[in-house]
Amino acid sequence: MKKRILVVDDEEGLRFLYKEELEDEGYSVELAASGEEALQKLEKDSIDLVVLDIKMPGMDGVEVLRLVKQKWKDLPVILCTAYPHYKHEFGSWASDAYIVKSSDLTELKDTIKDILGKR
C-alpha cells in the first residue's frame, strides 16, 4: 500500500511541486491550502505523514501542529519554513522534523523516508 502524505501550504505552485515530486517517489499525495482544510482532510482520510508550512494566512503552521498533535499524537509532522531563523523559536519541540524550504527537495524526501521507515 502506498503511504499517504498530506502537504499543507498556502502557495499553489508549491503544492503542485510537492505533489509531483513526492508522487515520483512513490507516495500518494493529498493537498490542503490552509490549516482548516488540513484538519478537515485529516478527519476524513487516513494520512501517514504531514508536511506543514509554518507561515500561512489564517491559522499558521504552529497552531495547526498543536491541534494535530493533540488529536493524532503519533502522526508525524514535518515543519517547513522559508528561512532558518524560525528554528530557534519553535525548535523541534513538537514536530518530528524541521526543514528549511528549498527548490531542491532532497532533504525533504530523505526526511520523509527516514520517518516513515522507522514505523
Query: Which stretches of the chain bind other proteins, using CB under 8 A?
Result: 9, 11, 13-14, 16-17, 20-21, 55, 82-83, 85, 88, 101-105
CA atoms of 98 and 116, how far apart (whole Å): 15
Nearer to other proteins, 42 or 105 (CB): 105
In sequence order, what DSSP letters do the residues of 14-80 get, joined into one string? HHHHHHHHHHHTT-EEEEESSHHHHHHHHHHS--SEEEEES--SSS-HHHHHHHHHHH-TT--EEEE
As measured in angstroms, the least distance from the Cβ of 42 to other proteins is 23
CB of 88 to other proteins, least distance (A): 7
Residue with Cβ nearer other proteins (85 or 119): 85
**Identity at 70, one-letter amino acid code:** Q
Strands 49-53 and 4-8: parallel
- Closer residue to other proteins in complex, CB, 97/101: 101
Minimum separation from the CB atom of position 50 to other proteins (A): 18
CB of 14 to other proteins, least distance (A): 6
The smaller minimum CB distance to other proteins, of residues 64 and 99, is found at 99
Partnered with residue 80 across adjacent β-strands are 53, 99
- Identify residue 97 by its one-letter amino acid code: A
